[in-house]
Amino acid sequence: FIEHDPTDMNSFKAYLKQSKRILALCGAGLSASSGLATFRGAGGLWKTHDAMSLATPNAFVKDPSLVWQFYSARRQAAFSAKPNPAHLALAALAVKNSDFITVTQNVDGLSPRAGHPPLQLQPVHGSLSTIKCTSVFCNYIQYDNYDMALTPALAPAPERSSNDAEAAPANIPVSDLPHCPKCTTGLLRPGVVWFGESLPAHVLSEIDEWMEDGPIELCLVIGTTGMVWPAAGYIGQCKEKGARVAIINMEIDDDPMLGGVEYADWLFKGDCAQILPQILE
């Protein structure tokens, strides 16, 4: 492998041309230019709350009203957002190359809406459009629920009586939060993976099967801090299987903790919505 400038797009493009088995690991930065907040950059109603501290089972038990308002606002934002050129570039690569997979940590559904073939898309942290019952006696799960308001109390801000998106979260009584239509008593929750919870077993085993299928030529690390496990581990696993690693991130150099930099062969700093269409064309 010839030494190259890690910011050189031409050497990347030449390598991409000869690459067959490619894995893209994506994070919240992929959807940033679709207007969706990243975890560290969450603002608006949530500027006084740390998004990461709301994504836990304990937070939901302690304050289901707060956590449901967080997820309801994110559902509304995601369902109204449009895929950006980065989602489209990945979808186009997947259509062109059936040996390419995208492992996405995003729960916003923008990759499928960009036309990414579903069999090549592995959503490791679940989906905002899935809702499920929290009762241990009930197995209710609903996929593809795109209701903007699951209950009147969670209606989009302009329809709420407070009429102020910047207002402090309301204290919604548990009885007014979404309840299970099957068992009727269980509280519903979003079908996403919170800290301390297992990732979906069937998704992990499909990724493992793909990883075991032969050498890997390229790993693209797009818009993620690469700090949340086990997803972050795919970068090193790809490297072990021979892959070159390209990182596409807004904060290269500015974030000393950015995961995967130690493996990187290319570092493309900037908005992935601008960079991906250029380097994957």
Active site residues: 125
Chosen residue from 24, 36, 55, 261 binding ligand BJW by CB under 6 A? 55
Chosen residue from 203, 251, 277, 278 binding ligand BJW by CB under 6 A? 251
Chosen residue from 225, 247, 266, 279 binding ligand BJW by CB under 6 A? 225
Does 72 interact with ligand BJW (rule: CB under 6 A)? Answer: no
Judged by CB under 6 A, the stretch of 4-12, 28-36, 203-211, 238-246 that binds ligand BJW is 28-36
**Number of C-beta neighbours around residue 223 at 10 A:** 27
Chain-centre distance of CA 247, in angstroms? 16
Kindly state the smallest distance separating residue 171's Cβ from ligand BJW, in Å: 21
Does 105 interact with ligand BJW (rule: CB under 6 A)? Answer: yes
- CB nearer ligand BJW, residue 77 or residue 180: 77
Q: How many residues bind ligand BJW (CB under 6 A)?
A: 35
Q: Which residues pair with 26 in a beta bridge?
A: 104, 222
Judged by CB under 6 A, the stretch of 13-21, 113-121, 141-149, 250-258 that binds ligand BJW is 250-258
Chosen residue from 24, 101, 193, 220 binding ligand BJW by CB under 6 A? 193
Does 38 interact with ligand BJW (rule: CB under 6 A)? Answer: yes
Kindly state the smallest distance separating residue 244's Cβ from ligand BJW, in Å: 19
- CB nearer ligand BJW, residue 55 or residue 131: 55
Does 192 interact with ligand BJW (rule: CB under 6 A)? Answer: yes
Q: Could you please report the per-residue DSSP string of the chain? A: -----TT-HHHHHHHHHT--SEEEEE-GGGGGGGTPPPSTT--GGGTTS-HHHHSSHHHHHH-HHHHHHHHHHHHHHHHH----HHHHHHHHHHHH-TTEEEEE---S-HHHHTT--GGGEEETTEEEEEEEE--TT---EE-S---S-SSGGG--GGGSSS--TTSPPP---GGGS-B-TTTSSSBEEEEEPPTTSPPPHHHHHHHHHHHHTS---EEEEES--S-STTTTHHHHHHHHTT-EEEEEETTTTT-TT-TTGGG-SEEEES-HHHHHHHH--
Kindly state the smallest distance separating residue 268's Cβ from ligand BJW, in Å: 9
Does 107 interact with ligand BJW (rule: CB under 6 A)? Answer: yes
State the residues that interact with ligand BJW by CB under 6 A: 27-29, 32-33, 38-40, 52, 55, 105, 107, 125, 192-198, 223-225, 227-230, 248-251, 255, 271-273
